[in-house]
Structure 1
């Protein structure tokens, strides 16, 4: 009876030759290998998935056919590694993918020398924009909760003495016989009422949302009607709706107010003469506030104004923060609060010529 072939041992030449490629291909981290001329010579399956491209399409191509980023940061880092033969890590690089989308990644570049080639560089690419979004989301929610608590405390401390001042001014007015002096007490009463109104605006509506089945496109058309009814409005409102979005559970009045605040800001940012795009999409298996939702409505409000000044972008959802000299800075804070009550969130990106406010609303909200 012929003897069976013994199992291949780890020291076998075939096993040793196949092992490195097998390990690279099975890695969940995206790996791309460049030669000294920065030509793509290898990429694993994880890199194909992350970068949305087939290896067969890019092998033998220069690196800028695959890894495009602002100011050629990746190209500069690759050259640095090949010249210094030292590893380098760069965090939060924005890569433009061949399909037109952008992702944020951390990238580690490691020099690799082989018997056949010298000066090769292995790029380990890890996507971080999802984690960054979750971190940013938690910050926005915490920021909004802390702001509401602070405002409620301040409102209580402010409104009590305001009531006393108003009452004293009214009593004083009844004792005065001089009509001209009465005008001063009227000013006191009017200014007290104005301050009370401002505090109430900061607090926003204290009514819980009355949840009913609403269509997001009906809400948007109502907002457009309000904007277009303004005689000073001259912006061009454009629609890009996804008709497949199902109804959501929400308070129509509160949703109209939140969206109206953002659209009005966009109109003012463009000087009333720009273009504003209202765009709706459906997201599947999307996480909001550490809770995964089967379906989420995404509403993008895009304007071509000058953008939000960088120095206030981190504070834009705080009350009393505004890029306009005549603004109160309450609109975005109230909008965030109203959307939070619906289990949703507002995020934004802004640069000169393009500001995008994105509203996320769960479509299976059972509040």
Structure 2
């Protein structure tokens, strides 16, 4: 009987490393344990995902092979291993093989010493990812400031409004002239209009109250039917769905309102194309993996893209479109996108906008169970 094959020394070392450094697989950033000469002792799951290669393939050669102009990184790794300094940071270009076509990925590289071993720890942070996280943090901070400002402003307006409306009603009961009654009605109607505006300003501060299983495609279909009912000619609302996306817990009505606000803005921006008959809005759903939202990492997330072929968001307001009372349209209240952002954030999600003439895309990302 033939004896079972024994693992080679290198395979055994890789297995030991996989056990010793298993915790690194839970990190969202790319992490590799590297010997002073550049041999990759261990690479975590994020490193595998970005390179599009198996761990065995990554560990087969030198880590410097994955970088464009790696001489600076090579010198730094050697210096840290010699204890010339404990840590170093630099910008680098990570070379991605295979389906990516060899595109170089800009990364921020951090080289650290490791206690009790001659190896060094190499951590890579995607510069785009860092920029996105910084942008999300700024958006959250700005949203909180906006909420506090709006809440205080709305309450300051709401209190005297009730007195104005009540006084107008009492005055209407006292006057006998029909012409004067019309004036009191103007006061009452305008007070009611301001009251409705105040209620809309306060609406985002209410937490999701109808929490149930939500199917994002039911939300999209509801929005699609509403948009086509209002714009029956000259506008196409195309579907591009990933039907494998699971349901998640949330407030269905809030999400419908958020998506409807964005899609309705898009339809209004497409007015000229609707007249010419080539206006298009696309609702696209996808799964994103290993997503960081609000400093928390999620294994899966929903990506909903709402894209149109309109003129784009005016550059003058592009950085402020989620601020309250900011509108690129005459007569717009500037509350639609503020409400959409708040409703998405209440589902632990984010919303972003990319816009240029001929293409505007809003991307909603919400964590999935």
| The two structures share one fold, judged by TM-score above 0.5 | yes
Question: Counterpart in 2 of 1:211?
Answer: 211
Question: Counterpart in 1 of 2:113?
Answer: none
Q: What is the CA-CA distance between 1:29 and the residue it aligns to?
A: 8.7
Q: What SS does the corresponding residue of 1:284 show, helix, strand or coil?
A: strand
Alignment partner for residue 338 of structure 1, among 343, 357, 368?
Answer: 343
Asked if 1:327 corresponds to 2:364, the answer is no
CA contact (8 A) 1:280 1:300 kept: yes
Question: Counterpart in 1 of 2:230?
Answer: 230
Measured in 2, the distance between the counterparts of 1:233 and 1:309 equals 26
Query: Residues 333 and 29 (structure 1 numbering): CA distance in 2 closer, same or farther, change over 3 Å?
Result: farther
CA contact (8 A) 1:30 1:126 kept: no
Query: Residues 314 and 238 (structure 1 numbering): CA distance in 2 closer, same or farther, change over 3 Å?
Result: same
CA contact (8 A) 1:276 1:301 kept: yes
Please give the residue correspondences for 1:13-52 in structure 2 after superposition, counting only pairs within 5 Å. Answer: 25-26=62-63, 30-32=67-69, 47=93, 50-52=94-96
Please give the residue correspondences for 1:1-367 in structure 2 after superposition, counting only pairs within 5 Å. Answer: 25-26=62-63, 30-32=67-69, 47=93, 50-53=94-97, 98=101, 127-204=126-203, 206-209=205-208, 210-231=210-231, 234-271=234-271, 273=274, 274-364=279-369
RMSD: 2.9
Unaligned runs of 5+ in 1: 1-18, 35-45, 58-96, 108-124
Measured in 2, the distance between the counterparts of 1:160 and 1:267 equals 36
Measured in 1, the distance between the counterparts of 2:65 and 2:140 equals 31
Measured in 2, the distance between the counterparts of 1:231 and 1:238 equals 14
Give a deviation string over 1:150-193, Cα, whole Å, max 9, x none: 11100110011111111111111111111111111110111111
Q: What is the CA-CA distance between 1:234 and the residue it aligns to?
A: 2.9
Unaligned runs of 5+ in 2: 1-35, 41-60, 72-91, 110-123
Question: Counterpart in 2 of 1:16?
Answer: none
Query: Residues 262 and 307 (structure 1 numbering): CA distance in 2 closer, same or farther, change over 3 Å?
Result: same
Measured in 1, the distance between the counterparts of 2:70 and 2:204 equals 57
Query: Residues 102 and 170 (structure 1 numbering): CA distance in 2 closer, same or farther, change over 3 Å?
Result: farther
Q: What is the CA-CA distance between 1:30 and the residue it aligns to?
A: 3.5
Ranges of 4+ aligned residues in structure 1 off by more than 4 Å:
19-25, 101-107
